[in-house]
Structure 1
């Protein structure tokens, strides 16, 4: 079973980036990205990568981010 931990602060995002943890991204209560990893972030944007050339840019203000932890 997977556990979800919400990522909110810069420290949360940095930890997920350092550990290359897979994340799930929601926007307007819909999953818009799942199984990708954070490759960069700043105060406005989170950049995720799910494949070699598969980059996605997500607004921190408009999206919710969750770390997926497997037991």
Structure 2
């Protein structure tokens, strides 16, 4: 079972990037990306890498970002 924590602040995104936490990204209540890690972010965009050659650019205002934690 997984626990989701919403990322909202710059500190949340920075922690997720530093710890290379896996994410789920929702847009219009649908999953648009899952399992990637944050490469970089700014006030408008979050760049997520899911595999070696798979980069996705998501609008920070248009999407919801959740850290995916595994329950132990």
TM-score, normalised with respect to structure 2 = 0.97
Mapped to 2, the partners of 1:57 and 1:43 lie a distance apart of 13
Aligned length: 71
Mapped to 2, the partners of 1:17 and 1:49 lie a distance apart of 11
Root-mean-square deviation over aligned CA pairs: 0.4
Corresponding residue for residue 66 of structure 1: 66
Corresponding residue for residue 50 of structure 2: 50
Structure 1 outlier segments of 4+, above 3 Å: none
Q: Which consecutive unaligned segments of at least 5 residues does structure 1 have?
A: none
Q: Which consecutive unaligned segments of at least 5 residues does structure 2 have?
A: none
TM-score, normalised with respect to structure 1 = 0.99
